[in-house]
Amino acid sequence: GGHIFLPYFCVCFSNPCATTGRVQRGAVSVVEGEVGWLSCPLFSHPLSTTTHLHPEHRHPPQSVAAGRRRKCGLPVAVAPIEDLIPLQEGKTLDCPDLQDATKMSESTPKVQWYFARHLVCGWYPFWNSDREQKGNSLQVHLMMEQYQGLYYCRVQYQRRNQTLNFTRSINVTAILPLSLPKEPSIMNPTNDQIFTVKTGTEVRLVCRGQLPFVLDKPWREIWWTVDGKTLDKLPDRFKQINRCEHSHHFRDLTIESILVIQDFQSQDMKREFYCSVKNERGFDTRRAQLEEEVSLPTVELGCGLGVTLLLMLILFVVYHAFWLELLLLYRSWFGTDERHTDDKEFDVYISYARNSEEEQFVLLTLRRVLENELGYSVCIFDRDSLPGGTITDETLSFVARSRRLLVVVSPGYASQGSQALLELKAGIDTMALAGHLRVILVQYKPVRRKGWVRELRRARVALALVRWQGDKSRELSSRFWKRLRVELPVRRVSSRGEDEEESKEVALMRLHSQNSTNSQTGSSATPSKTTMKVLNSAA
């Protein structure tokens, strides 16, 4: 069953050839033992143009061993004819070139059918009646998937007392029933699908379209548009890559079309990306929704974090360096002036050990600054106490009429029977009676904490310790005074002048009136030294 390939010339001797040329070249492929036709293209009349070629007449053959490649088929001189049969439907297969044979045959040609699919093959009749030979045609009543394959027809006819034969083939493929919908559709992007894109990178938008096969009009397409324009009208940054996913599913195609956008730019976010599919039966289109990726690159994140930490560090440092100033500023803005809310007379009662190193400090520095520079009303027993009455009662009353008890701590403070001890007791009593007294401990020189501090603590007295730091604390802007001001009642810097004068005057007036009533009793001695002596002797 070898193939013979015959080149030939045909020469024209009659008029119609004058214009087109007299000699034409042709070639024919014949299977050994079969009949073939030489068709001279110049002539249209079949009888005159067709010459029978019997293998006996052949010239030195160019045999082609093509038959061996097919596992179970027949050698055929010409390529198979393609035919499509919808599944579940029927069709009649006619043998190709049978018409020509019929014209040349002196009897009715006979046709034999043969089927080959992979390794399954055989002559008609086939194993069931779905495919039936009617006359020379083969009728497929009900197309099935397994009936796909090559159908061979061998034609036998008589001519000039010779039995001639040839074989032709039909490649039958199943397609989906015609009754099924053939409209194309887009599977991706789905309606709620969002593509996350990142500017500056290559973005790939994947569109998957289902494109059914339409009989006789197999044309179909899938494409992207950007802002209504096809990609050939857009810059080279936009490219489309198409690839078939399922190409042999009864000829229906699922095609993937990828829109590749190189170097995606932020203005591309505003563009409209549409994927469309189309075939003879319909059209579908869908917009690709984009969402910009919230990019927090590690470098920027690190920078942000670093800056935040640095800011926090700066704030921390600033707070630690200036917390006193900040506190004072805050108080000057939002602090309430205690003079408006209580009926006390003095801002500070200074308690200290008499005849000590601290006495100098109290009388020369502390009192002066508090009264003259900071505008507080200060009560010191020696100076402000009034003669007459018991000292204990007086001490108690003065402490009770002060907003703060300022205790200057010294080694001998609160020693047995001292005025300072009395004042301290008065403070604790006031605390117990009125419930509110702040005690400020001022440490002039480093001393060991004494038992009375513990006692104050036990009495739940609000305690604050401010340390004098020698010459460093002389300036009014030093830490010592700021710290002290924080512990003392609020005095607004701006409105200080008038208010202070007023309150001082009020205090003085009260003192004077008391003085005058007391002086009528006759006693007018300054209390300090006498008081001390009385107390000392009592101890």
Active site residues: 423
- If the CB atoms of residues 279 and 402 are measured against ligand NAG, the closer one turns out to be 279
Question: Shortest approach of ligand NAG to residue 11 CB, angstroms?
Answer: 35
End-to-end CA gap in the chain: 147
Tokens of 395: 């001490």
- If the CB atoms of residues 117 and 204 are measured against ligand NAG, the closer one turns out to be 117
CB atoms within 10 A of CB 470: 10
Question: Shortest approach of ligand NAG to residue 171 CB, angstroms?
Answer: 4
Tokens of 421: 């001890």
- If the CB atoms of residues 138 and 150 are measured against ligand NAG, the closer one turns out to be 150
To 10 degrees, what angle do helices 419-434 and 451-458 make?
A: 10
**Considering only CA atoms, which of 491, 427, 492, 490 is closest in space to residue 462?**
427
Residue among 24, 133, 171, 443 that touches ligand NAG (CB under 6 A) = 171
Output the CA torsion sign for 408, 413, 419, 422: positive
Question: Shortest approach of ligand NAG to residue 248 CB, angstroms?
Answer: 7
Per-residue binding letters, 172-201, with ligand NAG (x by CB under 6 A): -x----------------------------
Question: Shortest approach of ligand NAG to residue 249 CB, angstroms?
Answer: 12
**If binding means CB under 6 A, how many residues of this protein chain bind ligand NAG?**
4
For 495, counting Cβ atoms within 10 Å of its Cβ (0-12 exposed, 13-18 middle, 19+ buried), the class is exposed
What's the full length of the chain, in residues? 539
Which residue's C-beta sits nearest to ligand NAG? 171
Longest CA–CA span in the chain (Å) reads 177
- If the CB atoms of residues 80 and 412 are measured against ligand NAG, the closer one turns out to be 80
Instruction: Kindly report whether the peptide bond that precedes residue 55 is cis, defined as omega within 30 degrees of 0.
Output: no
Quote the CA–CA distance of 371 and 378 in Å, as a whole number: 6
Question: Shortest approach of ligand NAG to residue 279 CB, angstroms?
Answer: 18
- If the CB atoms of residues 83 and 499 are measured against ligand NAG, the closer one turns out to be 83
Identify whether the C-beta of residue 186 lies closer than 8 Å to the C-beta of residue 207. Answer: yes
Question: Shortest approach of ligand NAG to residue 53 CB, angstroms?
Answer: 25
Tokens of 58: 């052949």
- If the CB atoms of residues 213 and 264 are measured against ligand NAG, the closer one turns out to be 213
Residue 80 found at the interface with ligand NAG (CB under 6 A): yes
| DSSP string over 189-255 | S-TT-EEEE-TTS-EEEEEEEEE---TT---EEEEEEETTEEGGGS-TTEEEEEEEEEEEETTEEEE
Tokens of 183: 């409209």
Quote the CA–CA distance of 75 and 77 in Å, as a whole number: 7
Residue 146 found at the interface with ligand NAG (CB under 6 A): no
Question: Shortest approach of ligand NAG to residue 173 CB, angstroms?
Answer: 5
Quote the CA–CA distance of 359 and 261 in Å, as a whole number: 88
- If the CB atoms of residues 95 and 420 are measured against ligand NAG, the closer one turns out to be 95
Question: Shortest approach of ligand NAG to residue 132 CB, angstroms?
Answer: 22
Residue 96 found at the interface with ligand NAG (CB under 6 A): no
**Considering only CA atoms, which of 354, 297, 359, 372 is closest in space to residue 527?**
354
For 251, list phi and psi in degrees, rounded to 5: 75, -5
Quote the CA–CA distance of 151 and 95 in Å, as a whole number: 9
Identify whether the C-beta of residue 121 lies closer than 8 Å to the C-beta of residue 73. Answer: yes
List of residues contacting ligand NAG (CB under 6 A)? 80, 150, 171, 173
